[in-house]
Structure 1
């Protein structure tokens, strides 16, 4: 089966240890995700690519309990949709990212828990191609 990334410019995949691709301003040091062509803080037009930490801590979360409307491209129907977690993850002292979580049970999520970037299936296209996305999963440590 062929696998492709939903947004190949957002994370380094295929890679044994994928990372999110952000940017950093060489003038004011602002870090962004996703990558930006210019700095939202100081306006510098020359942002440098920055690979972000793979691990972070959970700052806030919710559960997506219903099928999102367009432009969501997950491929589910009302009948096949399964809830998933969405979280705000602090990556070191660099940046917070809003992201999908692998855990959908709110009883298993807690403030400050450690998470790690993983790659998970998103949908399978009609030709059998599996489309993958990045998400954050609780770590065992």
Structure 2
């Protein structure tokens, strides 16, 4: 199952002045959180252990990892079982993009203007940690 793909965001309302890598920042920030919380799949670990360590140590952003290792796509094969259940309920339902929109409400003309940096990643990690805890409680 493909949760998101940066190519889905090109064209249409995507701002012409931005580099295409901006189309995947929201995806990469989610994936960066997945990696930093140890919720990635064994397959992903086998493919890119050095890059995973770089993300965990904030030497590589989740977006850079997404482009380098995952070809701009977030799929169920990237996530462990628990993360997939969470992503199906939270990411695929647009709750993630709603929370992302709230976190960056004053960022610029579009959400694609969010910069791929550690300060913004920490904002995302904060609301994802809360959403994940709420999700886990709701599941008993």
TM-score by shorter chain over 0.5 = no
Whose helix fraction is larger, Structure 1's or Structure 2's? 2
Higher relative contact order (CA 8 A, sep 6+): 2
With normalisation by structure 2, the TM-score equals 0.26
Indicate the structure (1 or 2) with the bigger Cα radius of gyration: 1
Give TM-score, length-normalised by structure 1.
0.26
Q: Which one has a larger percent strand, Structure 1 or Structure 2?
A: 1
